[in-house]
A and B are shown apart, each in its own frame.
Chain A
Amino acid sequence: MSATAETLPVAPTEPLRRRLLRSLLYGRNSNRAAKARARVGLAIIAFAVVYGIIAVRLVMFAAVSDGRVAHRVVSGDAIATARPDILDRNGEVLATDVRVPSLYAEPRRLIDVDEAVELLTADLPDLDATELRERLSSRRGFVWLKRDITSEQQREIYHQGLPGIGFLNENKRDYPNGAEISHLLGRVDIDNQGTAGVEKWLDNQGLAALHLAGLATDRLQTPVQLAVDLRVQHALRDELVKARDKFHAIAAAGLVLNVRTGEIVAMVSEPDYDPNIPHNPRDPGLINRLTTGVYEMGSTFKAFTVAMALDSGKVTLKSSFDAHNPLHYGKFDIHDFEPMQRSLSVPEIFTYSSNIGAARIAMSMGVDAHKAFLKKMGQLDRLRTELPESAEPIVPKRWSELNTITIAFGHGLSVAPLQAVMGVGALMNGGILIPPTFLKRTEAEAQALGHRVIKPETSAMMRYLMRLNVEKGTASKADVAGYYIGGKTGTADKVVFGRYSKTRVLTDFMAVLPADQPRYVLLIMLDEPKALPETHGFTTSGWNAVPTGGAVVARIAPLLGIEPRLDLPPADQQILASLKESR
Chain B
Amino acid sequence: MIFRVINIVVIGALVLAAAYVYRIKFDSTVQAEHLAKLRIEVRRERDRIAALRAEWGELDNPGRIEILAKRFLALKPVAPTQFDSLDRLPERPPDDVRAANDDPIGGMIGNLDPPEGVTGTIPVPEPPAAPAATPPDQPSGAPSQ
Say whether A and B bind each other.
yes
A: residues with CB less than 8 A from B are 62, 65-66, 69-70, 73-74, 85, 92-94, 96-99, 174, 176-178, 180, 218-219, 230-231, 234-235, 238, 480-483, 554-555, 557-558, 563-564, 566
Residues of A within 8 A of B115 (CB): none
Shortest 10 CB-CB contacts between residues of A and residues of B: A176-B57, A482-B80, A564-B80, A234-B62, A93-B57, A176-B58, A66-B32, A70-B36, A174-B54, A69-B36
27 pairs, CB–CB < 8 Å, chain A vs chain B: A62-B25, A65-B32, A66-B36, A69-B35, A70-B35, A70-B36, A73-B39, A74-B39, A74-B40, A93-B53, A93-B56, A96-B53, A98-B50, A99-B47, A99-B51, A176-B57, A177-B57, A177-B61, A178-B61, A219-B43, A219-B46, A238-B63, A480-B80, A481-B80, A481-B81, A563-B83, A564-B83
Closest partner residue, chain A, to B65 (CB atom): A234
Q: Tell me if B68 is interfacial: C-beta within 8 Å of chain A.
A: no
B50 A219 Cβ-Cβ under 8 A: yes
A66/B51 in contact, CB under 8 A: no
Contact for B50 among A73, A97, A180, A557, CB less than 8 A: A97
Q: How far is the CA of A577 from the CA of B54 in the complex (A)?
A: 52
Q: How far is the CB of B113 from chain A (nearest CB, A)?
A: 34
- The answer, yes or no, to whether B119 is at the interface (CB within 8 Å) is no
**Contacts A74-B40, A93-B53; is A554 near B80 (CB within 8 Å)?**
yes
**Cβ contact within 8 Å between A69 and B32:** yes
Residues in chain B near residue A566, CB distance under 8 A: 80-81
Closest chain A residue, CB of each to CB of B40: A73
Instruction: Assess the A98–B47 pair: CB atoms within 8 A.
Output: yes
Q: Report the nearest B residue to A555, measured CB to CB.
A: B77
Bound Cα distance A177, B33 (Å)? 40
Q: State the Cβ distance, B26 to closest chain A Cβ, in Å.
A: 12
- Interface positions, chain B 58-90, Cβ under 8 Å from A, are 58, 60-63, 66, 77-81, 83, 85
Within 8 Å of chain A (Cβ to Cβ): is B27?
no
A96-B50, A98-B50, A180-B63 given; A558·B57 CB < 8 A: no
Q: Mark B8-29, 1 if CB is under 8 A from A, else 0.
A: 0000000000000000010011
What's the nearest-Cβ distance from chain A to residue B28, in Å? 8
Tell me if B95 counts as interface (CB < 8 A to partner A): no
Given contacts A70-B36, A180-B61, A563-B85, contact A238 B66 (CB under 8 A): yes
Q: From residue B51, how far is it (CB to closest CB) to chain A in Å?
A: 5
Q: Is the CB of B57 within 8 A of A96?
A: yes
Contacts of B33 in A (CB 8 A): 69
Given contacts A174-B54, A558-B78, 16 further A-B contacts (CB under 8 A): A66-B35, A70-B39, A73-B36, A176-B54, A176-B57, A177-B57, A177-B63, A219-B50, A231-B62, A234-B62, A238-B66, A481-B81, A554-B77, A558-B83, A564-B80, A564-B81
How many angstroms between the C-alpha atoms of A338 and B63 in the bound complex?
Answer: 41
Residues of A within 8 A of B79 (CB): 554
Minimal Cβ-Cβ distance residue in B for A93: B57
Residues B61 and A176 in contact, CB atoms below 8 Å apart: yes
A558–B79 Cα distance when bound, in Å, is 9
Q: How far is the CB of A348 from chain B (nearest CB, A)?
A: 29
In the complex, A168 Cα to B31 Cα: how many Å?
28
Check B60 against A234 for contact (C-beta < 8 Å): no
Q: Is the CB of B80 within 8 A of A230?
A: no
Which residues of chain A have C-beta atoms less than 8 A from B28's C-beta? Answer: 62, 66
Q: Is the CB of B54 within 8 A of A98?
A: yes
Inter-chain CA distance A555–B61, complex, in Å, is 17
Q: Which residues of chain A have C-beta atoms less than 8 A from B102's C-beta?
A: none
Q: Which residues of A contact B32 (CB under 8 A)?
A: 65-66, 69
| Nearest opposing residue in chain B for A94, CB measure | B57
Inter-chain CA distance A96–B51, complex, in Å, is: 8
Give the residues in chain A near B50, CB-CB below 8 Å.
Answer: 85, 96-99, 219
Whether the Cβ atoms of B83 and A96 lie closer than 8 Å is: no
CA of A113 to CA of B138 in the docked complex: distance in angstroms?
84
Contacts of A74 in B (CB 8 A): 39-40, 43
Out of A70, A98, A483, A563, which one reaches B51, CB within 8 Å? A98
Chain A proximity of B20: nearest CB distance (Å)? 14
Shortest B68–chain A CB gap in Å is 14
CB–CB B55/A176 < 8 A = yes
Q: Kindly list chain B residues whose C-beta atoms are within 8 Å of the C-beta of A235.
A: 62
Closest to A553 in B: B80
Q: CB-CB < 8 A to B35: which residues of A?
A: 66, 69-70
Cβ contacts under 8 Å, B56 to chain A = 93, 176
> With the chains together, A566 CA to B25 CA distance in Å?
77
Q: Which of B78-133 contact A (CB under 8 A)?
A: 78-81, 83, 85
Residues from chain B with Cβ under 8 Å of A563 in the complex: 83, 85
* A563 to B78 alpha-carbon distance, docked (Å): 12
A192 → chain B closest CB, angstroms? 14
Complex: chain B residue closest to A179, CB-CB: B63
Nearest to A237 among chain B residues (CB) is: B63
CA distance A38 to B24 in the complex (A): 41
> Which residues of B are found within 8 Å of A564, using beta-carbon distances?
80-81, 83
Shortest Cβ distance from A326 into chain B, in angstroms? 42
CA distance A178 to B62 in the complex (A): 11
